[in-house]
Structure 1
Amino acid sequence: MIRRPPTIVCYICGREYGTKSIAIHEPQCLKKWHNENNLLPKQLRRPEPIKPQITTISAKGFYDLEALNEAAWTSAQSQLVPCHICGRTFLPDRLIVHQRSCKPKVAK
Structure 2
Amino acid sequence: MIKCPRTVVCYICGREYGTKSINIHEPQCLKKWHNENNLLPKELRRPEPKKPEIRTITAKGFYDLDALNEAAWTSAQSQLVPCNICGRTFLPDRLIVHQRSCKPKAAK
TM-score w.r.t. structure 1 length? 0.99
Question: 2:96 matched to which residue of 1?
Answer: 96
What SS does structure 2 have at the residue aligned with 1:17?
strand
In structure 2, distance between residues paired with 1:36 and 1:70: 25
TM-score w.r.t. structure 2 length? 0.99
Letter in 2 for 1:78: S
Question: 1:65 matched to which residue of 2?
Answer: 65
Letter in 1 for 2:26: E
**Aligned counterparts, 1:80-91, within 5 A:** 80-91=80-91
* Count, aligned residues: 108
What SS does structure 1 have at the residue aligned with 2:53?
coil
Segments of structure 1 that go 5 or more residues without pairing to the other structure are: none
**Aligned residues: CA RMSD:** 0.3
In structure 1, distance between residues paired with 2:58 and 2:98: 44
Once the two structures are aligned, what percentage of the paired residues are identical? 88
The CA deviation string for residues 79-104 of structure 1, in whole angstroms up to 9 with x for no partner, is: 00000000000000000000000000
Runs of 4+ residues deviating >2 angstroms: none
Question: 2:28 matched to which residue of 1?
Answer: 28
Letter in 1 for 2:55: T
Letter in 1 for 2:36: E
Segments of structure 2 that go 5 or more residues without pairing to the other structure are: none
